[in-house]
């Protein structure tokens, strides 16, 4: 899901991806206790079916013809920018202009972020562009800055971006930043576009060009599908007039397509051009993939086993982990056998994610109130995870700010998978701090999250006309002057759910698909001795 190809970013979603596909030949489908396959050490041969990790370039003839009409790709760049609904006039906002009152501060940040989300969409089809990256041009004598000079527009989008954009429209309506008619019009424009693009067996491809609407990927992504579904669920809950259209798209996306009963896990996805399943599965519970598994179960297209077969921690003899798991045991939960356990750092117990990043941990909490529905398991882990993120950055790294998650790199035009290594089964390296990680932490530790956002804005030139930029390197002060559709939407949804408590979570919980799945997550207790 985290792949952003246009700025040199790898096709990722590495969080929670385990190599069980190469390790797990014929395991019984019965509910007998099973020892999780260790994905870090296995060298077993793959199954007979074709498995791959590679995509191939997709030709975009309509896009090439459009660019040629302006004299080629480079000559067409200003016209790509002209398709956007808006553009920032100022690169940096003076932090002293931000309100001192906590609520007023968050309201200002929410309003600025929403203006950016609305502006950085294609005015013809309503799709959010993947990213806009501003250069750092010299300031003219009158204090104005040419924000278009050297700017890059990623004129493609993922279906995660689209789903989160729909969710952001819903949240903006909930907190009064957009009127009902304008919100319905924005969602309708996106639905009209989704009706036009190429699909495969009702499933949407991972990426589409936002100018030509051609698919620019051969891949069907499980996690991205789940976030598109999430946006449609929220839209149908908030805008009854659009419910039938949203429901048709939701029903077409069959989650059983991604489930492999032999491995008891959900695949990363499927390469249509190769007729090959990805060699990676999602096997770790505490990642962004858990939301998609719940949706598949709620739709009746993935068995309940899929939830309980995802590992909390791997066994201690699974070499290559960042820590030795403790308390590993088998338990019966909701009629299923679960292998449970935890890591510990600095006296804090937690169930690890894959890479130790904030989005893996808290992205699902944007819509699922884990404090309410899974207080002794996921909810407790959310609190512990934020605490370790904060302490590791400030105590171990000596940073004045905290919050690590995949983000744009502050130098160059790349992308980095950043995290707190002790929080991951195979932790990402620490590095840049990204504001969306702080926003996600509003869900469980609002006081610390707001203080961190204030420090970010005060100490670094990281706040622009459309809200916080994507990342900063606290060691050098370098800022990634980029607005990423995904990260900005995560940020905005978290702030909206804080300003109007649980507004997005409650809408999501009201959906019949979600209501069917939520009872699964309430019985487990992660940290009982």
Mean pLDDT, rounded, of the chain: 91
Q: Which residues contact 470 (CB under 8 A, 6 or more apart)?
A: 407, 408, 434, 435, 436, 480, 482, 483, 484, 487
pLDDT tens, 158-205? 999 999 999 999 999 999 999 999 999 999 999 999 999 999 999 999
pLDDT tens, 315-347? 998 889 999 999 999 999 999 999 899 999 999
Q: Residue 17: what pLDDT?
A: 36
DSSP state of 281: E
pLDDT tens, 472-484? 999 999 999 999 9
pLDDT at 58 over 50: yes
Token representation of residue 124: 């013809």
Q: How confident is the model at residue 39 (pLDDT cuts 50, 70, 90)?
A: confident
DSSP state of 394: I
Phi, psi dihedrals of residue 331, rounded to the nearest 5°: -135, 160
Q: How confident is the model at residue 527 (pLDDT cuts 50, 70, 90)?
A: very high
Instruction: Summarize the confidence of residues 258-272 as an average pLDDT.
Output: 94
DSSP state of 368: S
* Percent with pLDDT over 90 in the chain: 84
pTM over 0.75: yes
pLDDT at 45 over 60: no
Evaluate whether 163 touches 230 at the Cβ level (below 8 Å). yes
Helix, strand, or coil (residue 318): coil
pLDDT at 87 over 90: yes
Instruction: Summarize the confidence of residues 94-103 as an average pLDDT.
Output: 97
Token representation of residue 286: 């505490």
pLDDT at 139 over 80: no
Q: How confident is the model at residue 405 (pLDDT cuts 50, 70, 90)?
A: very high
pLDDT at 32 over 60: no
Q: How confident is the model at residue 140 (pLDDT cuts 50, 70, 90)?
A: very low
Q: Which of 66-75, 295-304, 330-339 has the lowest mean pLDDT?
A: 330-339
Q: How confident is the model at residue 1 (pLDDT cuts 50, 70, 90)?
A: low
Q: How confident is the model at residue 460 (pLDDT cuts 50, 70, 90)?
A: very high
Q: Residue 51: what pLDDT?
A: 52
Q: Residue 529: what pLDDT?
A: 75
Q: Residue 13: what pLDDT?
A: 37
* Domain ranges within the chain, ordered by starting residue: 5-29+49-137+153-521
pLDDT at 46 over 60: no
Q: How confident is the model at residue 412 (pLDDT cuts 50, 70, 90)?
A: confident
DSSP state of 139: P
Token representation of residue 455: 């420090």
Instruction: Summarize the confidence of residues 229-240 as an average pLDDT.
Output: 99
pLDDT at 500 over 70: yes
Q: Which of 8-22, 160-174, 358-372, 413-427 has the lowest mean pLDDT?
A: 8-22
* Percent with pLDDT over 70 in the chain: 89
Q: How confident is the model at residue 2 (pLDDT cuts 50, 70, 90)?
A: low
User: 5-29+49-137+153-521, which class in CATH?
Assistant: mainly alpha
Among 457, 322, 338, 324, smallest CA distance to 400 is for: 457
Q: How confident is the model at residue 136 (pLDDT cuts 50, 70, 90)?
A: confident
Evaluate whether 407 touches 418 at the Cβ level (below 8 Å). yes
Q: Residue 253: what pLDDT?
A: 99
Q: Which of 144-148, 305-309, 396-400, 422-426 has the lowest mean pLDDT?
A: 144-148
Q: How confident is the model at residue 55 (pLDDT cuts 50, 70, 90)?
A: confident
Strand order in the sheet with 326-333: 326-333, 336-345, 348-350
Distance of CA 486 to the CA centre of its chain: 6
pLDDT at 411 over 80: yes
pLDDT tens, 243-260? 999 999 999 999 999 999
Helix, strand, or coil (residue 229): helix
Phi, psi dihedrals of residue 391, rounded to the nearest 5°: -70, -40
Q: How confident is the model at residue 35 (pLDDT cuts 50, 70, 90)?
A: low
């Amino acid at each position: 899901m985290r792949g952003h190809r246009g700025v040199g970013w790898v096709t990722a979603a590495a969080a929670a991806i385990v190599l069980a596909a190469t390790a797990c030949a014929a395991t019984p489908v019965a509910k007998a206790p099973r020892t999780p396959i260790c994905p870090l050490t296995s060298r077993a041969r793959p199954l007979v079916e074709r498995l791959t990790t590679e995509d191939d370039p997709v030709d975009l003839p309509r896009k090439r013809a459009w660019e040629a009409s302006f004299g080629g790709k480079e000559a067409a760049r200003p016209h790509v920018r002209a398709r956007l609904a808006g553009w920032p006039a100022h690169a940096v906002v003076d932090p002293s202009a931000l309100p001192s009152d906590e609520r007023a501060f968050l309201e200002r940040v929410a309003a600025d972020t929403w203006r950016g989300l609305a502006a950085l969409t294609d005015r013809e089809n309503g799709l959010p562009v993947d990213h806009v990256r501003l250069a750092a041009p010299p300031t003219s004598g009158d204090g104005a800055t040419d924000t278009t000079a050297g700017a890059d527009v990623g004129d493609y989008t993922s279906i995660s971006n689209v789903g989160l954009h729909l969710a952001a429209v819903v949240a903006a309506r909930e907190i009064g930043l957009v009127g009902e008619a304008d919100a319905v019009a924005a969602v309708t424009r996106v639905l009209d576009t989704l009706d036009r693009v190429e699909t495969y067996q009702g499933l949407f491809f991972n990426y589409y060009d936002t100018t030509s609407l051609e698919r620019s990927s051969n891949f069907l992504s499980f996690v991205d599908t789940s976030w598109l579904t999430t946006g449609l669920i929220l839209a149908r809950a908030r805008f009854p007039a659009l419910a039938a259209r949203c429901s048709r798209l939701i029903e077409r996306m069959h989650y059983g397509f991604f489930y492999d009963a032999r491995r008891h896990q959900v695949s990363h996805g499927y390469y249509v051009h190769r007729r090959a399943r990805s060699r990676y599965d999602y096997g770790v519970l505490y990642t962004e993939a858990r939301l998609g598994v719940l949706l598949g179960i709620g739709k009746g297209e993935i068995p309940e086993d899929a939830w309980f077969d995802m590992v909390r921690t791997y066994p201690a003899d699974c070499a290559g982990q960042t820590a030795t798991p403790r308390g590993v045991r088998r338990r019966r939960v909701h009629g299923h056998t679960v292998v449970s356990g935890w890591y510990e750092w600095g006296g804090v117990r937690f169930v690890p994610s894959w890479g130790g990043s904030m989005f893996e941990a808290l992205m699902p909490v944007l819509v699922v109130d884990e404090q309410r529905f899974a207080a002794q398991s996921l909810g407790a882990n959310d609190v512990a995870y934020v605490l370790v993120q904060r302490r590791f950055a400030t105590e171990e790294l000596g940073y004045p700010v905290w919050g690590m998650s995949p983000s744009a790199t502050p130098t160059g035009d790349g992308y980095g998978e950043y995290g707190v290594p002790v929080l991951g089964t195979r932790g990402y390296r620490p590095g840049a701090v990204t504001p969306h990680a702080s926003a996600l932490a509003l869900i469980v530790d609002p006081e610390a999250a707001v203080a961190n956002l204030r420090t970010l804005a005060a100490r670094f030139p990281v706040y622009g006309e459309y809200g916080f930029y994507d990342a900063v390197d606290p060691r050098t002060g370098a800022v990634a002057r980029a607005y990423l559709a995904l990260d900005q939407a995560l940020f905005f949804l978290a702030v909206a759910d804080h300003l109007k408590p649980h507004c997005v979570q409650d809408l999501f919980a009201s959906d019949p698909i979600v209501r069917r799945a939520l009872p699964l997550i309430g019985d487990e207790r992660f940290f009982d001795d």
